[in-house]
């Protein structure tokens, strides 16, 4: 199953931090093997969230020559050359939670525009290889000006549309990106209950079923964990925290979001498989 995390305003809606938290909660709750990746090169990426800055720097030292490099860039080069087998993915993924959560890191040894071009060129083969080596792929998908984003959104079984409590950005999404809605669930990131743009009002105004929208509250302690590479430890330590824990509402929201996303992805994936079987494809 391919699950794309996307927004029409990535940074404002916390797409990467939401994906990081939900990926950890998902493998705690469900017995799936999950691979995470980005379709762009960026500083505040999933590798930093999972592994911390020092570990990311160590990854950058691997294969300073792009053609012999590790991580996503090296994997793309192998695919581009046709020099790969079905079981190539384990050579390029980084284990985050043993036997359950993996990340294909960025070595960041090439220019972002070259990376974007080559990822787009090989995206279908890459996603097929990931499908054959995992049960779920979470993709942090760039909002604009990335060649591969449209292909990823087209191929995704489910699109997690990350919204925020901003009237202009909400109008922009529902006016310009309504084609994504049929296979989308909605996640309101950096959520604050003090805003007059509540998730309930968003659902009512834009005709979203209540079971298709949820929130991730703003949480300063999680934000610090995200920036310092402690997402796995933070989510794991607080996953079953009591109601008097200051992180309870945040963790409860992450758990609910993970459950909603996985169940909806299963539904869409099974439906698509039935349609393929019915059509004899």
Digit-by-digit pLDDT tens for the chain (281 residues) are 999 999 998 778 999 999 999 999 999 999 999 999 999 988 889 999 999 975 544 444 444 344 456 799 999 989 999 988 989 999 999 999 999 999 999 876 677 888 899 999 999 999 999 999 999 999 999 987 789 999 999 999 999 999 999 999 999 999 999 999 999 999 999 999 999 999 999 999 999 999 999 999 999 999 999 999 999 999 999 999 999 999 999 999 999 999 999 999 998 777 666 555 566 65
Q: Is the dihedral of CA 16, 218, 159, 93 positive or negative?
A: positive
Contact 104/72 with Cβ under 8 angstroms? yes
* Separation between Cα atoms, residue 196 and residue 8, nearest integer Å: 21
Which secondary-structure segment (H or E) carries 95? strand 94-97
CATH number at residue 46: 3.40.50.300
Do 94 and 49 touch, CB atoms closer than 8 A? no
**Considering the entire predicted model, what is its pTM?**
0.91
- What residue numbers bound the domain in which 181 lies? 2-279
Please list, residue by residue across 110-121, b when 16 or more beta carbons sit within 10 angstroms of its beta carbon and e when fewer do: beeeebbebbbe
- What is the total count of domains within the chain? 1
**Gap between the Cα atoms of 22 and 27, Å rounded:** 9
């Amino acid at each position: 199953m391919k699950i794309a995390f996307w927004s029409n305003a990535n940074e404002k809606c916390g797409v990467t931090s939401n994906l990081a938290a939900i990926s950890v909660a998902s493998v705690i709750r469900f017995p799936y093997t999950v691979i995470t990746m980005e379709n762009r090169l960026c500083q505040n990426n999933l590798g930093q969230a999972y592994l911390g800055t020092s570990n990311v720097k160590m990854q950058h030292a691997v294969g300073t020559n792009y053609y012999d490099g590790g991580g996503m860039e090296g994997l793309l080069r192998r695919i581009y050359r046709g020099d790969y087998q079905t079981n190539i993915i384990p050579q390029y993924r980084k284990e985050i939670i043993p036997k359950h959560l993996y990340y294909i890191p960025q070595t960041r040894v090439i220019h972002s525009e070259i990376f974007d071009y080559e990822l787009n060129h090989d995206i279908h083969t890459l996603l097929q290889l990931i499908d054959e080596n995992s049960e779920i792929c979470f993709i942090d998908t760039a909002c604009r000006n990335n060649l591969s984003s449209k292909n990823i959104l087209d191929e995704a079984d489910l699109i997690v549309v990350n919204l925020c409590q901003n009237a202009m950005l909400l109008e922009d999404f529902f006016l310009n990106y309504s084609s994504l809605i049929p296979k989308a669930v909605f996640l309101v990131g950096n959520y604050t209950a003090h805003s007059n743009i509540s998730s309930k009002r968003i659902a009512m105004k834009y005709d979203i079923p209540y079971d298709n929208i949820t929130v991730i509250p703003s949480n300063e302690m999680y934000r610090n964990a995200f920036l310092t590479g402690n997402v796995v430890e933070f989510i794991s330590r607080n996953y079953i925290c009591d109601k008097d824990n200051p992180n309870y509402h945040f963790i409860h929201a992450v758990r609910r979001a993970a459950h909603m996303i996985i169940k909806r992805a299963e539904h869409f994936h099974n439906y698509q498989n039935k349609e393929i079987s019915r059509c004899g494809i």
